């Protein structure tokens, strides 16, 4: 649903809009801030549902644009406002895609004139300031089609430059008078925190106190149950971390999806007609047996929704990528299955699994299945499947209950990223606090890289060996030692570090031959792979994709090394072998 429609809908229902300050505003403000007298052409791009149009509406109002104009839901509108005490002409394009001709149709003259005026503004040939919301595809398409429709048009320059800005994620341009900001660059975790607060701080939640007699708000109400869980700091914390990790992996979640995920978490139910509860349905399902089917642990992953509907929201496919509850470790399953009875687990079971409040109670169905599994002899396939499915749900529940610093159990073992906890504790969180990750962490990664790159089980984490096969740089066994980069800075400035990039993602930076560093983004998959290899797993046992990806990074470094050494005469030839302690030793053959 578009923002324009939401405003109308809220008004007709007499409900206040859910509002919060978009985290992008701080970044936009650096380039564009009418109240501070800072103006430039602005283009906001991003995924559908990122809030582009909403932000434009806010600017319109900030500039005292007439409300009646907005009421007609214009595609674009001109505005003369006073900025810095002088009148300034502005033009708002609220949604560029709506200003383009339909597929196969020709431009209408108005549309063409609008686009040309915009291109002129970008090239600083006019004094009008354009404020535009567009998605990336339409943006390029518009310029391209303008280019072909009007031969010799300046759209050519603009198109090339904007394409490059998009692809290299650049906000400013040397050629154009423009700030181009992609709202998808904004960390979803921060947006989530704001959206979460905006939803949970609504005064309407008082209904659980004031209308407790209404089944919809009583203790058995599925909504009440889910709300009680959602507002627990532990739950919010884990959800936040999950989204943080999505950001690290490059999975951007739009504002719309975040809100949908929260709402679905509260109101999802597989038996509801639309899979999301109406008030009447809440009343209908407010029983201990029914309310659990719509449990927030399931809803967060979109389990209540039909497949096609679930696919409409990327957030669910991103969350499901972690396979929470489908992965496990023996210790955790033991806790779930035997924790209640085994004396040595009893205490921890009380702390992590049992829930004295009753709002996050263990599903009685699981209890029955568990007992049957442990005792009953007749445990047929159907029952077994049911048991395993319910066990997975209990693992999901547990995933949200184990605190970050829990000594015995690691919640991330319930996901495919077994080392995610380590990633958070040693890399992401220190970096976000402004601290550098410890040398031990870099050394682990370097050890992993050395093993993958050389194909030999070296125990070397102080130096990164740039190795090659005699034939291919990607040879499984690469003995040729072309260069080595120390982790700790050498006299020539070569070293390795980990830092955050502009999107808040950690990167391994290799400072090579006094050039600017070569970056390798450390997403969860790459981290997991390198740490597993460093810990002894074989490089090709994990994932071919990852393997190729890590090898390609080596090729890029080697190409750099080679281009710098091309002029030198080669007098000898160095190759690596493993010494008795498993460390690499360099041997030289003179040519």
Residues near another protein (CB under 8 A) are 45-48, 50, 135-138, 140, 163, 166-167, 182-184, 252, 468-475, 477, 479, 545, 548-549, 552, 555-556, 558-563, 570, 573, 575, 587, 589-591
Q: Which is nearer to another protein, 167 or 440 (CB)?
A: 167
* Start-to-end Cα distance in the chain: 71
CB of 495 to another protein, least distance (A): 21
CB of 509 to another protein, least distance (A): 17
Tell me if 169 sits within 8 A of 136, measured CB to CB: no
Handedness of CA 366, 367, 370, 376 (dihedral sign): negative
Rounded CA-CA distance 141/11 in Å is 35
Q: Which is nearer to another protein, 101 or 469 (CB)?
A: 469
Q: Which is nearer to another protein, 159 or 281 (CB)?
A: 159
Q: Which is nearer to another protein, 16 or 515 (CB)?
A: 515
Q: Which is nearer to another protein, 38 or 574 (CB)?
A: 574
Rounded CA-CA distance 282/292 in Å is 12
Between CA 401 and CA 406, with CA 404 as vertex, the angle to 5 degrees is: 80
CB of 180 to another protein, least distance (A): 11
Rounded CA-CA distance 330/335 in Å is 9
Rounded CA-CA distance 329/352 in Å is 16
Reference 361, options 264, 266, 295, 303; nearest CA is 295
The token pair that represents 83 in the structure block:
């900025």
Q: Which is nearer to another protein, 144 or 231 (CB)?
A: 144
Rounded CA-CA distance 69/81 in Å is 14
In the block, tokens 């002088």 appear at: 86
Give SS3 for 458.
coil
Within 10 angstroms of residue 585's Cβ, the number of other Cβ atoms is 13
Q: Which is nearer to another protein, 149 or 562 (CB)?
A: 562
CB of 178 to another protein, least distance (A): 17
Q: Which is nearer to another protein, 183 or 352 (CB)?
A: 183
Q: Which is nearer to another protein, 279 or 556 (CB)?
A: 556
Tell me if 146 sits within 8 A of 138, measured CB to CB: no
Tell me if 487 sits within 8 A of 442, measured CB to CB: yes
Within 10 angstroms of residue 78's Cβ, the number of other Cβ atoms is 14
CB of 514 to another protein, least distance (A): 16
In the block, tokens 């080596």 appear at: 554
The token pair that represents 289 in the structure block:
């047996």
CB of 549 to another protein, least distance (A): 5
Q: In a 10 Å sphere around its CB, with 0-12 CB exposed, 13-18 middle and 19+ buried, how is residue 407 labelled?
A: exposed
Q: Which is nearer to another protein, 144 or 432 (CB)?
A: 144
To which H or E segment does residue 208 belong?
helix 207-210
In the block, tokens 């790159």 appear at: 453
DSSP characters for 217-278?
A: GSTT-HHHHHHHHHTSHHHHHHHHHHHHHHHHTT----HHHHHHHHHHHHHB-TTSTTSB--
Q: Which is nearer to another protein, 198 or 475 (CB)?
A: 475
Q: Which is nearer to another protein, 366 or 511 (CB)?
A: 511
Tell me if 20 sits within 8 A of 161, measured CB to CB: no
Within 10 angstroms of residue 122's Cβ, the number of other Cβ atoms is 27
The token pair that represents 478 in the structure block:
């690469």
Rounded CA-CA distance 97/84 in Å is 32
CB of 47 to another protein, least distance (A): 4
Q: Which is nearer to another protein, 323 or 472 (CB)?
A: 472
Rounded CA-CA distance 459/467 in Å is 15
Rounded CA-CA distance 219/540 in Å is 52
Tell me the sheet residues that pair with 484.
Answer: 465
Q: Which is nearer to another protein, 136 or 193 (CB)?
A: 136
């Amino acid at each position: 649903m578009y923002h324009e429609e939401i405003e109308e809908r809220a008004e007709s229902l007499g409900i206040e809009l859910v509002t919060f300050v978009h985290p992008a505003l701080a970044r936009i403000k650096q380039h564009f801030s009418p109240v501070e007298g800072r103006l430039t052409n602005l283009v906001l791009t991003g995924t559908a549902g990122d809030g582009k149009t909403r932000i434009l509406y806010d600017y319109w109002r900030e500039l005292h644009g007439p409300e009646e104009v907005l009421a007609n839901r214009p595609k674009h509108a001109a505005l003369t406002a006073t900025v810095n005490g002088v009148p300034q002409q502005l033009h708002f394009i609220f949604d560029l895609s709506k200003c383009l001709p339909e597929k196969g149709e020709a431009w209408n003259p108005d549309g063409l004139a609008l686009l040309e005026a915009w291109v002129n503004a970008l090239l600083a040939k006019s004094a009008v300031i354009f404020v535009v919301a567009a998605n990336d595809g339409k943006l390029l398409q518009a310029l391209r089609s303008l280019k072909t429709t009007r031969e010799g048009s300046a759209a050519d320059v603009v198109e090339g430059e904007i394409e490059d800005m998009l692809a290299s994620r650049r906000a400013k341009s040397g050629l154009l008078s423009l700030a181009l900001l992609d709202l998808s660059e904004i960390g979803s975790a921060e947006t989530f925190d704001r959206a979460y607060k905006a939803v949970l701080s609504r005064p309407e939640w008082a209904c659980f106190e004031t209308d407790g007699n209404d089944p919809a708000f009583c203790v058995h109400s599925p909504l009440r149950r889910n709300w009680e869980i959602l507002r627990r700091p532990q739950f919010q914390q884990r959800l936040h971390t999950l989204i943080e990790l999505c950001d690290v992996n490059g999975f951007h979640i739009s504002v719309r999806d975040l809100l949908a995920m929260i709402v679905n978490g509260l109101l999802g139910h597989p038996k509801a007609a639309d899979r999301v509860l109406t008030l009447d349905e809440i009343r209908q399902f407010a029983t201990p047996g029914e309310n659990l089917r719509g449990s927030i642990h399931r809803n967060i992953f979109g389990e209540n929704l039909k497949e096609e509907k679930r696919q409409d929201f990327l957030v669910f496919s991103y969350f499901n990528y972690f396979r929470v509850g489908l992965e496990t470790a023996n210790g955790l399953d033991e806790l779930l299955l035997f924790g209640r009875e085994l004396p040595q687990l009893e205490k921890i079971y009380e702390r992590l699994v049992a829930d004295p409040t009753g709002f996050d109670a263990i599903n009685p169905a699981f209890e029955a299945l568990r007992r049957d599994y442990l005792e009953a002899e007749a445990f047929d396939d159907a029952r077994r499947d049911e048991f395993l499915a319910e066990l997975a749900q209990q693992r999901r529940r547990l995933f949200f209950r184990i605190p970050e610093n829990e000594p015995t159990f690691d919640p991330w073992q319930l996901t495919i990223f077994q080392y995610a906890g380590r990633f958070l504790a040693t890399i992401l969180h220190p970096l976000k606090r402004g601290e550098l990750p410890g040398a031990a962490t870099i050394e682990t990664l370097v050890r992993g890289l050395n093993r993958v790159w050389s194909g030999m089980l070296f125990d070397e984490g102080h130096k990164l060996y740039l190795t090659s096969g005699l034939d291919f740089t990607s040879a499984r066994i690469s003995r040729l030692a072309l260069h080595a980069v120390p982790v700790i800075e050498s006299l020539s400035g070569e070293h390795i570090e980990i830092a955050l990039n502009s999107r808040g993602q950690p990167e391994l930076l290799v400072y090579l031959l006094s050039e600017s560093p070569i970056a390798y983004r450390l997403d969860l998959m790459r981290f997991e792979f390198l740490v597993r290899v460093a810990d002894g797993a074989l490089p090709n046992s994990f994932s071919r994709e990852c393997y190729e990806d890590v090898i390609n990074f080596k090729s890029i470094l080697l190409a750099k090394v080679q281009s710098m050494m091309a002029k030198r005469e080669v007098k000898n030839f160095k190759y690596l072998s493993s010494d008795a302690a498993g460390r690499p030793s360099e041997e030289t053959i003179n040519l």
